[in-house]
Every structure is written in C-alpha cells, then in structure tokens.
Structure 1
C-alpha cells in the first residue's frame, strides 16, 4: 500500500525570505558614507562658487567655526547620554511594572508607556520646557533648573517609554521554563527577575537599546527649537554672525550632517553585529 506523507497532501507556505539586495535586507555600508561625503563636498562646492571673492572663502569661514561647532556637538552627545541614562533607568522600572502580577500596577505602567511612546518628541520637549519650573527649593535653597536639563528630561520621556517596551518584550521572549526552574529552586519573584531572567535579557535588549540611542542622538537637534545652545543653534548663530550669506548654508549644514553620520554610523554597524551575534536560534 502506497503511503502519502502529510507534506505531499497539504500545501505548505514557507516563510518569506528576503533576498540579498531587497528592501528588507538593506544595511548601511561604508560606501553609503562615501556617497554622503561626496554630497557634502558637492554642496560645499556650490557654496564656494557663489561666494564673493572679495570676502573670506567658504572654506576659511567653515574652518574658523569648526572648533565651536564640534564643541557644540559634544554638548549634543552629553544631552543624549544623560537622557539615555534617565530613560533607561525609568524605562526598566516601567517595563518591569508591565509584567507585574498586580493588575492595577500593570495597567498603570501600560498606560504610561503607551502615552509617552505614541506622543511626538517635539511636543514632549515643549511639555518639559514650559511646565517644569525654572527653579525649585530644597531646605530654603533655590536651585535653578537650566533649559538644557529640562530639554534632557523632555527627551528622556519617549526613551523611557520605548525602553519599557524593550524590557517587557525581552522578558516575555524567554521561555516559561526559566520561571518554572527558578520556582522549583524556591526563588522569590524578585530573585527570579534579578538572578535568572534579567541577566538573560541583557543580550536581547542591547541591540534595540543601541538603536534607540542612535535615534535619540539624532533627535537632540530638536533642543534647538527651544533655545538650547547645541550644534544646530550654534550653526544658526554662526551663519547670522557672518551676515546671513546664503552661500554658507549648504556647507555649514552639510558639515553638521556629516559629523552626525560619523558618530551614528559605527553605532548602527555595531547594532547589526550584535543582532547577528545574539540572534536566537530557532
């Protein structure tokens, strides 16, 4: 008697696999940065062609302002690191609250996460800038709250919400056998989280965490809208001090674009490497 396998009877729909070169397998390569550098050089060349030969050249002006622009960019990096630290700490607590056995706490943390995660970053930045006080008192001592710190808090709010989802997703991705094994060893829930679950979640959370940091770094230019003296604000002031010459716009903003790319590109490549290294084998 001839046997018929299940595979020959029922059609099986295989999962789609992205071909090399397709949109889903797109990854940043070094030649992308070279193209971006060429674009910056071309726009700068256009600025050189429009410049008045009597005045200082575009290259000389850009070279003169370059140290100040780089210093302002370091301030962007400092804001991004501080906002990422605050958002990571608060988001971890919020993410653990989303998996709490307490239904009330779980729903509250879910609401806070969804509210800040689906709110525009610029609106949250204005929210922090205008609703936080300019100073607060502790023991009769007035402590000022500078604009850059309020902007950092505003940027940390969406980071907190996204980090909450990263933590929740990483914890839920672990098999239930990890919880059962810890319970069989008479571990409390807190011991299970800190000694068993979270250590295994670190490698799962690291790639999306780095990707979130890269997005945050590029979003720090939003602080220029509220008057924080970061690289975009400094660039605008530099252009204004040079008499508002239109031939300086493309070279200056191309330089800002280039330094952001040089900083964020290695993070993107490292993220791709960690995704492959820590990929969960099926």
Structure 2
C-alpha cells in the first residue's frame, strides 16, 4: 500500500476522528483499487473509469462506497498539493437506491424475548448475558460495536442512562429501560471473568462476530428465520418501533447517534395508513367541525 494512502488514513483518524472500523473499510477499498490500477496517486481519469468494468459484479451500494472512498482520497491529494488535478469525476456513479432497513415485527421481537427470558430463568451466565445484550440492542438501539465494548463503569447507578462512545469516538447518553436495568443487575450477579468490560471474554470483550452468532442461534430457537435477525436489525427495530409510537425524528437522531438527520430519515418508511390515522387522531383540528362558510363563498 502506498504512503499516500497511509497519510490519508492518518488524516481521517487525526482530524475527522474516524473510527477503527471506518478506517479499516477505507483501507480495504483503497488497497483493492490500487491492486487494480497501481499507485493511486498517479492514476488518471481513464484508469479510474475502467473501474466500472472491474466492479460490474458488485452491488450498486458497494460501488458507491468504493467510489466515495476514492473521491475523498483524491480530494486529500489536491488539498495537500500532491496533485494539481482531480480525476475522481471519472469514477463510476451508480444510481443506487438506499434500501429500506430490515426490521422485525412486534410479534417477532416478543418471540425473541419470550425465548431468552425462559432460558435466563435457569440463571446460567450465558443465558442471562444474552438477555442483557438483547435488552440493550432493542431497548437502547446500540450498535454492535458500542454494545460489546461497553466498559463495566457504564452500568447505570444513579441515573438510567448509559454513556456510549459511538462512531468517530463521539460520546452520547442513551436511556436504559427498567427492564434493561434489571437484566444488567442479573448479569452482574452471575458475570464471570475480570477486566474493565461489561461483557468480558478472553481478557477483552466478546466480539461482534460472536454477538451476531448468538442472535442467529436465538432466532432459530425462537422459530424465527435466522437471516432476519442481527444486531443491526434489532437497532432498526428499536428506531422504527419508537417512530411508530410517536417519537420525534430529532430525538431519534440523538438516540441513534446519527451525525446527519438524513441518515435517520430512512426510518420514516412507516405505514402510510398509520400516518393518516395519526393525523386524524392527533391533529388539533381532528375533532373540530368545519366552520359554516357564508353563502356566496
């Protein structure tokens, strides 16, 4: 990998506070492009346009992500005076529609909780831990990385809030339901292992991959297709179900830790009939009759 890519990644980390996962994704995309084109700092527009053919088998969203990484890279080269031109307009620009997030129905969420609560009744540490994890995923909308890396000190004591470090090392406060507080208390009673993490494993914390596996296995036991369940799907369910309940979009943005509200707006894919019902029932004029208009109007 060329030194210019390393310099670009260093800038993302130092000045933009990019998270480790974000840096890893940029590194993969830029390294893969360099394997196709050679030194990216020397590539011209014709070379970049050839990537469209090389990426033809990829989903539009993947092409958009790769192109975005390269556009930012060439912007960096121009700002640093390494290049006097910007060849990035030649990159593929697929007209990708952002897919609606997968969500679980209320019945499916209930089935997951019913199953995990039955298992946690045994007080086995693995079952109680899974209950606590599920409560925080669905009850607080945490990202997988945010959840598995929670420090032990994050457990609420006086106030029902968690301090979570999200993308870009941005901290935010998220509420914790009474159910989740009870689940966490049960987990702390049977928690095994030492260290600073709330969910320890092998001297560190459980991995995102292991969290993903545990949820898939729970879905099977709850008679739900495992492909429908993941940490991010539960985060989507948290957001969608809150919105259905009347939550404000700005509040939802804060809870989810979105830097841009346009990211939160994806959750406005709620049922149109529900929106009509909401207007008819909640609007100030919903129960007011139209004033009689004067004759001749």
| TM-score (norm. length: structure 2) | 0.20
Task: Give 1 or 2 for the bigger CA radius of gyration.
Answer: 1
| TM-score (norm. length: structure 1) | 0.21
* Bigger RCO (CA 8 Å, 6+ sep): 1
Structure having the higher helix fraction is 1
